[in-house]
Structures are given as structure tokens and as C-alpha cells.
Amino acid sequence: MTRTFDGSVGWAALRERFADRLGTGTLAALDDAVAFAAERHGDQRRPAGEPYLEHLLEALEVLVDATGERDPDTLRAAVLHDVVEDTPATVGEVRERFGDRVAELVGWVTKSGDRDAYLASLRDAPDAAIAVKLADRVSNVQRLRTHPRPAKRASYYRETVATIVPLAAGRPWFEEWYSAWQAEHADLADLDRDGR
């Protein structure tokens, strides 16, 4: 069974858990990123109804707990990865508040225009942006069976296998996790567009 991550514990609990591994400067930088994301995402909910911030915290938890990531810019980008795509925030605002590198990483993982072109472009992304995307997708697919639309479960499974799993190559924790996840959800590959 693949490991799951739980953002419902909230930032305060995760912060306390991370305190022995992340320095006070990184934690303070994450405080700012979490506050900005919480304010911008506001009352947004995920498809299964959970508060949006939980997803962002799960992506962060994947990087800190599972992969051992410690780079403050990568970690802040994980928290902010959907703020441009799903709120009125702009890359310029992210740059002004969090710096050029965080803005660049957020830019790489922000969908704009054609979805297929966006996913293909990730092959050329910097390693840190790929790590953020892989952590984002772990959060998105770890509970894929809870998505309210069966057809979406199937199409998202197929998209993940085709475009995201290859990005995990050479990243041992992600390779292992996605391999196990793919095996556990293989039945979704056979569902048709109506989820049957």
C-alpha cells in the first residue's frame, strides 16, 4: 500500500513536526508562504470537498518527509504551486514577495493554455520544479478513488502514467511511490470515458 499524506493536520502541526529538520529561517519563510496561499485560496475546495490548503500542505509534506528536501525556495514553491493557476495572484506578485527563483518554479508548474503542451514542457523543467510537480501529483492521486467522477479517475490515472510517472525516473522515492501507486490503481486504465 502506498504511503499517503495528510494536510488536514494543518500547518501548525506540520511546522512542529518539521522543526527538527528545517531551520528557523526556512520555517519562517514557510510561515509567510502558507499565510499567502491560505489568504489567496480562501474558501476554495478540492473535488472531494476538502479545503484547498490541505492539498498544498500535502505537497510540502511529500517533499520534507518523503524526499528529504530542505531547499527553502523549493518548499515555498510547493506551497504556492497553484496560487497563480487557481487564484487572482500573478507570477509578478509571487516574485515581489518571494523572489525570482520561487516565482520561476511556480511559473514552471502553472498550467496555461494547452494542457498537453504544458505537460510536455515539464520534461525541460529544472529539477526543483519537477520535484514540486511530482509532489503535487502525489497529493492529487493518492486518494484518486475518492474523486466524485469515475471518468475523471480513469482519465487522470492515464494522464499520470503517461506524463508524470516518466518524470519520476532517477528520483528513487518518487519512482518507488509511483510504481506502487500505478499497480494499485491499474484497474482504472481499463475504464472507458464514462467511468465504466
* Rounded CA separation 195/96 (Å): 44
Cα diameter, the chain: 50
Q: List the one residue out of 67, 89, 84 whose CA is nearest residue 21.
A: 67
Q: Sort residue 50 into left (φ over 0), alpha (ψ -120 to 50) or beta.
A: beta
Q: Sort residue 149 into left (φ over 0), alpha (ψ -120 to 50) or beta.
A: beta
Catalytic, out of 6, 54, 71, 86:
86
Known catalytic membership, residue 85: yes
Catalytic, out of 85, 116, 127, 187:
85
Helix (H, G, I), strand (E, B) or coil at 45: strand
* Rounded CA separation 158/181 (Å): 12
Known catalytic membership, residue 32: no
| Catalytic annotation, residues | 85-86
